[in-house]
Structures are given as C-alpha cells and as structure tokens.
Amino acid sequence: MASDDIWILGIHMTKFGKHPDKDTVDLAAEATRAALKDAGVTMKDMGILAAGNLMGGGGIGQMLQKQVGQTGIPVYNVANACATGATALRTAIMAVKAGEVKYGLAVGVEKLAGAGLLGAGGAAKKDGVTYEPSGRFGAVAPTDGRIGTQTMPGVFAQIGMEYGHKYGGTSFELFARISEKNHAHSTLNPLAAYTKKMSLDQIMNDVMIAYPNTRPMCSANCDGAAAAVVTNGETLKTLSPDQQRRAIKVSASILTTDPWQEACQVLPDVNTLTRNAATQAYEQAGVSPEDLDLVELHDCFATAELVHYDNLMLCEPGGAVDLFESGATWRDGRIPVNVSGGLESKGHPISATGIANIWEVCNHLRGEGGDRQIENAKVGLAHVIGLGSACGVHILEKAAA
Amino acid sequence: MSGQVPLVDYLVLGSDPHLIAHECTSCGARFFDRRNACANCENDEFTDVDIPTTGELRAFTIVSMAAPGIEVPFVASVVDCDGTSVRGNIINTPPDPDHVKLGMKVKLATYKVGTDDQGTEAIGFGFEPI
C-alpha cells in the first residue's frame, strides 16, 4: 500500500429509526465509540474531529467530545445539507491526506423522527396585512405552492419527470417499482428504520405526497448516527494484521457543487454535479462503472434513484429505464443498487446518511454483510446529494491482502 | 391605496401580462431574482428582457402535501418558454395526470392571490393548457 493512501480503519452506524430515549449526542457518542472500537484505536489517537449535524442547534463536535473524550484536538462542525456526512468524512480525509494528522474521525448524526415535510421554507414572507415587496424576488406574499414547489418530494418528483420527458419510458408504475426493490432489499437489513416488503399495489395506493411519489417512495425521516475513523497507508502498515485485513481503501473521495446551468435555479439540477463527481471519482480511483460490485446512491425519492443510475454512469446516457427494467439493480443483478434498503426504507437521518452509506459498502467489502452480503464484493461506490447543492462520491476497495 | 400589485416583481401586469428576467449583458444568462453578479460569468451588469408567454411543459408534479395555507392538490411545473426555463403552477385545468401531460403547450395566465387591508389585490401567475 502507498504511504499516502487513505483507509477507513473503523466504521459504525447505529440502528436507524425512532430513538425517543436518546438525544443527538447519545446517538453520536454511540456511533463514535463503536467506530473507535471497530478501528482498535481511541480518542487519544485522533488528530481531528469533523462532525455533522443540521437540526441540533450547532456545536455538535464539542458536545460530542465532552461525552467521548476531550483531548483538545481541532473540531470542524460541518453543515452541507444532505451531503453533511460525506462532507465530514471528506474533511477528516483531507487532514490525513495533508499529512497534518495520522488519524481522523468523522461523525454524522440527526434526530429527525416525526419531522414531516422538509423544504417548504422558501417563502419570502408571511401573508401580511399590507403588501410590500421583499426578498430577491420582490414577493408580496409567500411563493411556495403559488409559484411551483420547493418541497423536497415535489422537487425530486419533477426531476424524475424531467428525465422521463427527455428520454421517455417512465411512468408512475416504473418509479413505484424502484421503491418496491428498495423495500424488498430492506427486509435483510436489521438496522433499517422500515424492514417490511411492500407490494407494488401497496406502494402505488399509499398516500400520495407529490405525484408520482407516494409516501413509501419518499425517504423516511428518522433518527440515527454513523461514524468513521480514517488513517493513511503509512500508519496502517504499523498496525496489526487484523486491522490491515479489515481496513477499506478510500480510492476516491470527491465533493462537488453545481456549476451554473440554464434552469438550475428554477429546478435544482442534481444531474450535472453528480455526473461531475462521478467522473472525477472514477478517474481518481482508476476504476470504471463496470468494476463496481455494489452502489449505495441517494434515493431520497424513487424518482431520484432513476436519474442517478444515469448520472453515476451505471448505464449509457438515457438508459436508466432500460437498466432498471433489466433487473440489474436488484441485489441479485449485475450492479446491485441500495441493498441496504436505501433512504426509502433504511431511512434518512440527514447528516448520518453520507457516512451510513459508506458503512454499508464497507460491510460488504469486508465480507461482513450477513444475510445481505453481496458475494465477493471488491469495489463499491457511495453517493449522496444535498440540495443547494452538494454532491459527495466515495469509491471504496477491499484490502488487497 | 387600492389597485393591483404583482405577487413577484418579475411579473409585469397590465393589458399584456408577462414575465421579465434580468439578463447578463455579457453571457446572456437569465435570472428572475436580484443578483449581485452573474453566477455563470461574474459580470455585474444586467438588462431586463421579456420572456415569451407560451411554452412547453418540461416537468411537473402534483403536490398533495404542502405547507399550511396552500390549497392542495396543485400542479407545480417547469415550463420551457423558448429556451428560458420558468417555474410556475399549471392552473385552470384539473390537477391530474389525465389533464396534465409532459410536452403539452401552455400559456401564461394570471389570477388573484389575495387582497390586503388597503384593498390592494396581489396578482399571481401560472400556466394554462393552450
């Protein structure tokens, strides 16, 4: 192994779901202590802590230190929408890569159970008694719902519909069948928030949120945390054979934002920045999409999963419908996608998601996937996207030895 | 003061209601909101241009869950107005997939959003099938 390669030494995700008896710091501490134990190191070894949380009021990193070990190391509290976890991990990786520290710790945590509809905050102002233009659109009243929608289910519904308009072949039923796949996958994941298989009829006849996304086709708001310890090749060489065997190589760690495109500020363009991140990641890792044994991608809505098949280049441009129809993305297919159950059933505690999806891939690459193990998995990709926008792509590889 | 005001400042009322955009004088990028500089090329000069009032429906969703006070279901959409993408609701047609189709031709329409305590009406816009 090269001295400056980056390795995940230990990683953990908590059970996703409702944790009424635990606060945000409890969940972060649980993930952190388990990741340190998995790595065989302690807080005293860590040179940096990057901590992500959006809903807890700020300063999660320092609050966490007080429960797991106040060693005086620098803390970076990061916030990057749904890409927060991936951004925390990337922050720790950059510190190790720069040679400033031997070990970095990244944590993402969220308490989101029962949070309801997200994204409806685009209103310029409340309905007032006297109309006065305000904000950058000079609005005299709230615009969300009056000039399109900024709610997440509606935005991502349009993103899927736009793909259908461009290439054809999509339908309500097609998007529902993507959800059917992920809910079927979740039955093998005891850490998922929801582990029930759902029939196509059940999915299509459930509560409509934003056509064509019904409730089970939307990511599940829940509580959860995930944490990872990273180190470099030079340090890993000094560790035990068992630590070296279980270490997972980070072959690519990429973060992008959306470059300006016509329409990107009318409907968020989640495609260009994902494609850019994937292109850079494949180049950095020296692998191609055909080399991937599994993918965890950001299915915040069933409509989103379809477009990311294309954006991550798992198919030819315009070929996402055909790829899904071929069965390739089921767990017994050519390129299994979201064998964890995805955000639609595993759940989406926002800041934890970008590390939890990496935990899932690591589990398979270590051969520790239990009932849902993808046999002989050697290379995997984890993707997250947060609107605004930010996209994280990590490519992970099994240790050679 | 009674009379009418547009819901947003890029809606021009009058006998020929239409939208305007702030167009970058350097690269031609168009923005509906106030800008400090162009997101595409960093130029900081803009000129207002009229947006065509007809277009093609490029993406839509039928929203059934929304913030309190917003009547559901409604159709949110993106309309391609001859190369400029516009966000707006599809109005004056039933909000279901039998009446709203990708690729259909639509045109700008206005409607009353509400009235304030001075008697001023706020006028919003949407797109209706042609």
Distance, CA of A192 to CA of A189 (rounded, Å): 6
Quick check: is A209 in a domain? no
Quick check: is A52 in a domain? yes
Q: Which is it for strands B18-24 and B11-12: parallel, antiparallel or unpaired?
A: antiparallel
Q: Which is it for strands B84-90 and B54-63: parallel, antiparallel or unpaired?
A: unpaired
Distance, CA of B124 to CA of B34 (rounded, Å): 19
A382 neighbors A394 (Cβ within 8 angstroms): yes
Cα B69 to Cα A94, A153, B65, B84, distances in angstroms? 46, 18, 11, 30
Chain B CB contacts of A210 under 8 Å are 61-65, 76
pLDDT at A118: 73
Q: Cβ–Cβ of A161/B114 closer than 8 Å?
A: no
Quick check: is A170 in a domain? no
Question: What is the rounded (10 degree) CA torsion for A262, A266, A267, A272?
Answer: 30
pLDDT at A57: 87
Quick check: is A153 in a domain? no
Flag whether pLDDT at A115 surpasses 80.
Answer: no
Q: Which is it for strands B3-6 and B120-129: parallel, antiparallel or unpaired?
A: parallel
Q: Cβ–Cβ of B87/A147 closer than 8 Å?
A: yes
Chain A CB contacts of B30 under 8 Å are 262
Residues near A82 by Cβ (< 8 Å), separated by ≥ 6?
A: A298, A300, A348, A350, A353, A354, A384, A385, A386, A387, A390
A359 neighbors A35 (Cβ within 8 angstroms): no
pLDDT digits (tens, 9 = 90+) for B50-103: 999 999 999 999 999 988 888 999 999 999 999 999 999 999 999 999 999 999
Residues near B24 by Cβ (< 8 Å), separated by ≥ 6?
A: B30, B31, B38, B40, B41, B43, B45, B46
Residues 157-196 (A) with a CB less than 8 A from some CB of B? 157-159, 161-162, 164-165, 172
**Over residues A355-365, mean pLDDT:** 98
Flag whether pLDDT at A84 surpasses 60.
Answer: yes
Residue A164's CB is within 10 A of a number of other CB atoms, namely 21
Q: What single-letter amino acid sits at A351?
A: S
Going by the DSSP 8-state scheme, the letter that residue A278 receives in this structure is H
B11 neighbors B125 (Cβ within 8 angstroms): yes
pLDDT digits (tens, 9 = 90+) for A177-221: 999 999 999 999 999 999 999 999 999 999 999 999 999 999 999
Q: Which is it for strands A379-386 and A294-296: parallel, antiparallel or unpaired?
A: parallel
Query: Tokens for A12?
Result: 């953990």
Residues 255-294 (A) with a CB less than 8 A from some CB of B? 260, 262-263, 265-267
Quick check: is A249 in a domain? yes
Banded model confidence at residue A129, pLDDT cuts 50, 70, 90: confident
**Over residues A113-136, mean pLDDT:** 72
Domain membership of residue A70 as a residue range: 6-114+221-398
Residue A132's CB is within 10 A of a number of other CB atoms, namely 12
Three-class SS state of B29: coil
Higher pLDDT, A400 or A278: A278
Q: Which of B10, B113, B117 sits opposite A146 (nearest CB)?
A: B113
Quick check: is A361 in a domain? yes
Quick check: is A155 in a domain? no
Cα A135 to Cα A121, A150, B35, B121, B130, distances in angstroms? 13, 16, 11, 19, 32
Q: For residue A253, what is the domain's CATH number? A: 3.40.47.10
pLDDT, averaged across chain B: 96
Chain B CB contacts of A127 under 8 Å are 69, 114
Distance, CA of A205 to CA of A187 (rounded, Å): 21
Flag whether pLDDT at A353 surpasses 80.
Answer: yes
Q: How buried is residue A27: exposed, middle or buried, by Cβ count under 10 Å (0-12/13-18/19+)?
A: buried
**Over residues A251-257, mean pLDDT:** 98
Residues 197-226 (A) with a CB less than 8 A from some CB of B? 207-213
Provide the number of structural domains found in chain A: 1
CA angle at residue A207 from A200 to A121, to 5 degrees? 125
Distance, CA of A328 to CA of A71 (rounded, Å): 47
Residues in chain A: 401
Quick check: is A101 in a domain? yes
Cα atoms in the 13 Å half-sphere on the side-chain side of B77: 33
